[in-house]
Amino acid sequence: MIRPDRLRTEYLSDPLGVETPAPRLSWWLEADAGAKAQSAYEIEVSSPGSSSPDLWASGRVESPRQAHIEYAGRPLQSRQVCDWRVRVWDEGGQVSDWSTPARWEMGLLEPSDWQARWVRHVGATPARPSLFRRAFTARSGLARARLYATAHGIYVAHVNGIRVSDAALRPGWTDYATRTQYQVYDVTSLVSAGENVLAAVVADGWFSGHVAMVGRHIYGKRPALLAQLEITFEDGTIQVLGSGSGMRASHGGWLSGDLLMGETVDARLASVAWMRAGFDDRTWSKARVRTKPAPALTAEVNEPVRPIEEVAAVAAFPSTTGDATVFDMGVNLVGRVRLRMQGSAGTEVTLRHAEILDAEGALYTENLRTAKQTDTYILAGDRQGETFEPSFTFHGFRYVEVKGLGSSLPLETCTGVVLSSGFPITGGFECSEPMLNALQANIVRGMRGNFVDIPTDCPQRDERAGWMGDAQIFVRTATGNAAVAPFFTKWLRDVVEACGPAGFRDVSPMPVMFKTPGAPGWGDAGVIVPWTMYRVYGDTRALEMMYPEMKHWVDDKVQANPDLLWREARGNDYGDWLAVREEASKEVVASAYLAHSLDLTSQAAGVLHEADERKHYRDLFERARAAFRAAYLGPEGMREPSQTACVLALQFDLLEPREREVVLAQLVERIDAASGHLTTGFLGVEHLLWALDLGGRLDIAHDLLVKRTFPSWGYSIDHGATTIWERWDGWTQESGFQDPAMNSFNHYSLGAVGAWMYGRLLGLDLDPEVPGFGKASICPRPGGEITWASGWQETMAGRYEVAWRIRGQVFELDVQVPVNAVAEVQLPHNGVPTTVGSGRHHFETAWVAQR
């Protein structure tokens, strides 16, 4: 018998504030021994308390599908609560019990649902966070309470002094003029009969604080708040109140709060009394109600940024100047610190953050450019001690220098609070080579630290922008490590909204300065990311949403380049950004990407049943491919050879079989010419090991992966990297630090090798034909000195596990395939693939060492 489990709505468990009229329902399957597959399902959706499925009864549907079943019942209203359950039939016709019910709740679907008004703090000191409060009386008999809130800026809301959520940096970053996400909080347990207080602190955030290298006020000059509290009583009556003319505003302990610069708190001015009932706010100013039309609001679809981990400092030592304590957090993390301290009132404590120390042991901050990453705390003088943890900023750092309290603060007074978008980690990888385990940890840490509401390039300097190229090369690795579908769903909307006359941009959301048309490999993210979402999660909705802009993007290039070589209109053209020792021809890279995007657009059309368009873009791809070969390929291979040019030609399917061999040989030569090293930048690195491995040179792929000399992943790890560096040569023994104008030690891009470690070294990958992991390809590719690898991935279809080891002359493989899924298993040295169904399987084959 099989049983449905882990019910999810729009990827999330029991979400509040769903907005789509047809939420997609998914589940996993558990099984007793024997049962393997689902043959049918039945879904029931009901209003709470209803004894029948009053909203939707799917009836029995003969189908193995367990993901993305669209709700097709009665039209849903704002705030509607929907309880749902599912039962399934196995392949023998045995029906399961009904699942434990799951729930979703609709958001505010109509603009008229909003009675609260946007408010601002008139007379606020610029750049200083504002406090907003509104007292209200509730009667008894409360049944439920919801807070719908957002801000232009970033906000933290409280009801009766209690923070409504641990989420941070909300509402996150969107192009606020076009779309602002609101959040929904269940505050039922926080509201009580009698006097209550709804309170919020609002800081500049991305809206009016410093953004990238653009400066301040990108979206507006003054932050604003929107908050609507709805209290439903047992008798069905509803009390609605929120921001509006009844709200009052003031300043409190926060003197500043800026994402890039840092935060300043004067604890002498801070109090919590204002958030509670009984506080006299008559001296506060009346909040000013916005009269201009409000921007469009949409419910938050992604998991918010939140503290995901706490890290204890591993060392504390006096600063080189002798007057401060430096804490070493052990790893380069993203977030802020919580500092416990004691001192006299008025003592000023400053915290400077840096990723690295210079040769003298001082904080190296040149690479932050204009970002200050400095927090200041002025003590209230509490004899019991006091604690500071900033709320409206985040930093990329391993070291924090605390000045103002001497040079010997105890180690345990400083804790690192790691911030990241709150998606769960759903994949793991480990093997016998410790350096590769460190690499995997660095990839995940770098991803965590740079997935802060949007995929940013880096978390420390004055940039932290949604660079599209970085996102597209890393997206496949990201999906291996974590459940990032909601994260990318939200970001793809940002991508659409950033589009200009030529389609996708380089950066999304797009602050004014990045107005240029998208560059090769950067704009193409608008094609590649939704395609990856479709492949990994079976998400056709993301593809549908993006498809018009995908066409727009390629059409624009085709129009500017009728011969289908991307010579014109390449925007800022970064080429194979940050390659070392060798530069790929920018035109070749661009033309390869144009062909690739045509290919994917054609495939997307196929998925969306646009047969004519599928053919149209397929023909264009074929023509682009022919043009590419005619222009850039000679009898010896690529006319302007570089590792990246060879790799892209191979991986984007631009060559005929015979040519593939020549170009592969050329790639091997290019690696030899670099004395066995890679030279690839951002665009080549993702595909390098795949090209070698699929071309039959697994030996070289392994060699590059475990290399320790410069340039290599191992080199940075041997020199202290705990995240992925922006550049291969971020620091070298010969030259020290690279140009501080662009030298981040936490950029995830070059970590795009993670997809190969999962897909081939471990051997757990998507089947090329089946989206959503209903079928996996299990094809371990051991090599070098590696004697075992093990890993797992939780997918829409359930959890896969793979573990292999070499024991003398025997290669052993254990796999776990989820219920209702299959895997095609191919053992090393053994040409015949076997297809296995759900359950645990063990394989053995003779092992012949490869060298």
Span from 107-115, 117-125, 375-383, 466-474 in contact with ligand BGC (CB under 6 A)? 466-474
Please report how close the Cβ of residue 688 comes to ligand BGC at its closest, in angstroms: 18
Q: Strands (DSSP E) along 160-223, which ranges? A: 162-163, 180-186, 194-203
Q: Are strands 180-186 and 297-299 parallel, antiparallel or unpaired?
A: parallel
DSSP per residue, 468-483: HHHHHHHHHHHHHHB-
Q: Binding to ligand BGC by residue 73, rule CB under 6 A? A: no
Q: Binding to ligand BGC by residue 574, rule CB under 6 A? A: yes
Nearer of residues 727 and 781 to ligand BGC, judged by Cβ? 727
Q: Binding to ligand BGC by residue 582, rule CB under 6 A? A: no
Please report how close the Cβ of residue 207 comes to ligand BGC at its closest, in angstroms: 22
Please report how close the Cβ of residue 270 comes to ligand BGC at its closest, in angstroms: 36
Nearer of residues 486 and 684 to ligand BGC, judged by Cβ? 684
Q: Binding to ligand BGC by residue 469, rule CB under 6 A? A: yes
Question: For residue 420, how many other CB atoms are within 10 A of its CB?
Answer: 27
Nearer of residues 84 and 728 to ligand BGC, judged by Cβ? 728
Cis omega (within 30 of 0) for bond into 15: no
Look at residue 243 and give its three-state secondary structure.
Answer: coil
Nearer of residues 678 and 683 to ligand BGC, judged by Cβ? 683
Q: How far apart are CA 98 and CA 86, in angstroms?
A: 6
**Cα-based distances in Å from 301 to 15, 188, 423, 467:** 9, 22, 12, 21
Nearer of residues 469 and 530 to ligand BGC, judged by Cβ? 469
Residues 708-767 that bind ligand BGC (CB under 6 A): 742, 747
Q: Which amino acid is at 237?
A: T
Please report how close the Cβ of residue 679 comes to ligand BGC at its closest, in angstroms: 17
Residues 300-329 that bind ligand BGC (CB under 6 A): none
Q: Binding to ligand BGC by residue 457, rule CB under 6 A? A: yes
Q: How far apart are CA 179 and CA 186, in angstroms?
A: 23
Size of the site for ligand BGC (CB under 6 A): 10
- Listed in sequence order, the residues at least 6 apart from 34 whose beta carbon sits closer than 8 Å to its beta carbon are none
Nearer of residues 422 and 571 to ligand BGC, judged by Cβ? 571
Please report how close the Cβ of residue 744 comes to ligand BGC at its closest, in angstroms: 7
Please report how close the Cβ of residue 418 comes to ligand BGC at its closest, in angstroms: 21
**Cα-based distances in Å from 259 to 12, 52, 205, 373, 402:** 28, 50, 6, 8, 19
Nearer of residues 455 and 818 to ligand BGC, judged by Cβ? 455
Nearer of residues 752 and 778 to ligand BGC, judged by Cβ? 752
Q: Binding to ligand BGC by residue 467, rule CB under 6 A? A: yes
Out of 212, 458, 471, 554, the only residue in the binding site for ligand BGC (CB under 6 A) is 458
Look at residue 50 and give its three-state secondary structure.
Answer: coil
Please report how close the Cβ of residue 10 comes to ligand BGC at its closest, in angstroms: 30
To 5 degrees, how large is the angle CA 437–CA 441–CA 444? 140
Residues tagged active-site:
463, 726
One character per residue 221-260, x = contact with ligand BGC (rule: CB under 6 A): ----------------------------------------
Please report how close the Cβ of residue 457 comes to ligand BGC at its closest, in angstroms: 4
Helix axes 586-607, 643-651, angle to 10 degrees: 20
Span from 129-137, 342-350, 444-452, 463-471 in contact with ligand BGC (CB under 6 A)? 463-471
Look at residue 187 and give its three-state secondary structure.
Answer: coil
Q: Are strands 142-152 and 180-186 parallel, antiparallel or unpaired?
A: antiparallel
Q: Binding to ligand BGC by residue 463, rule CB under 6 A? A: yes
Tokens representing residue 267 in the block: 């604890």
Nearer of residues 470 and 693 to ligand BGC, judged by Cβ? 470
Span from 362-370, 435-443, 455-463, 795-803 in contact with ligand BGC (CB under 6 A)? 455-463
What does the DSSP 8-state code read for residue 501?
T
Q: How far apart are CA 728 and CA 576, in angstroms?
A: 13
**Cα-based distances in Å from 364 to 258, 317, 353, 657, 739:** 21, 16, 9, 50, 13
Look at residue 807 and give its three-state secondary structure.
Answer: strand
Q: Binding to ligand BGC by residue 593, rule CB under 6 A? A: no
Residue 328 pairs with which residues in a beta bridge? 315, 399
Q: Binding to ligand BGC by residue 539, rule CB under 6 A? A: no
Out of 19, 300, 375, 470, the only residue in the binding site for ligand BGC (CB under 6 A) is 470
DSSP H or E run through 447 = helix 434-450
Please report how close the Cβ of residue 593 comes to ligand BGC at its closest, in angstroms: 14
Span from 11-19, 126-134, 456-464, 471-479 in contact with ligand BGC (CB under 6 A)? 456-464
Please report how close the Cβ of residue 742 comes to ligand BGC at its closest, in angstroms: 6
Cβ(831)–Cβ(816) below 8 Å: no
DSSP H or E run through 487 = helix 485-498
Nearer of residues 265 and 527 to ligand BGC, judged by Cβ? 527
Q: How far apart are CA 376 and CA 257, in angstroms?
A: 10
User: In residues, how long is the chain?
Assistant: 851
**Cα-based distances in Å from 252 to 261, 270, 319, 348, 534:** 19, 5, 32, 17, 47
Out of 41, 274, 577, 617, the only residue in the binding site for ligand BGC (CB under 6 A) is 577
- Strands of 285-286's sheet in order across: 162-163, 154-159, 194-203, 130-138, 248-250, 285-286
Nearer of residues 252 and 469 to ligand BGC, judged by Cβ? 469
Q: How far apart are CA 742 and CA 727, in angstroms?
A: 9
Span from 229-237, 280-288, 464-472, 809-817 in contact with ligand BGC (CB under 6 A)? 464-472
Please report how close the Cβ of residue 203 comes to ligand BGC at its closest, in angstroms: 25
Span from 55-63, 311-319, 467-475, 684-692 in contact with ligand BGC (CB under 6 A)? 467-475
Q: Binding to ligand BGC by residue 132, rule CB under 6 A? A: no
Residues that bind ligand BGC in the complex, under the rule CB under 6 A = 457-458, 463, 467, 469-470, 574, 577, 742, 747
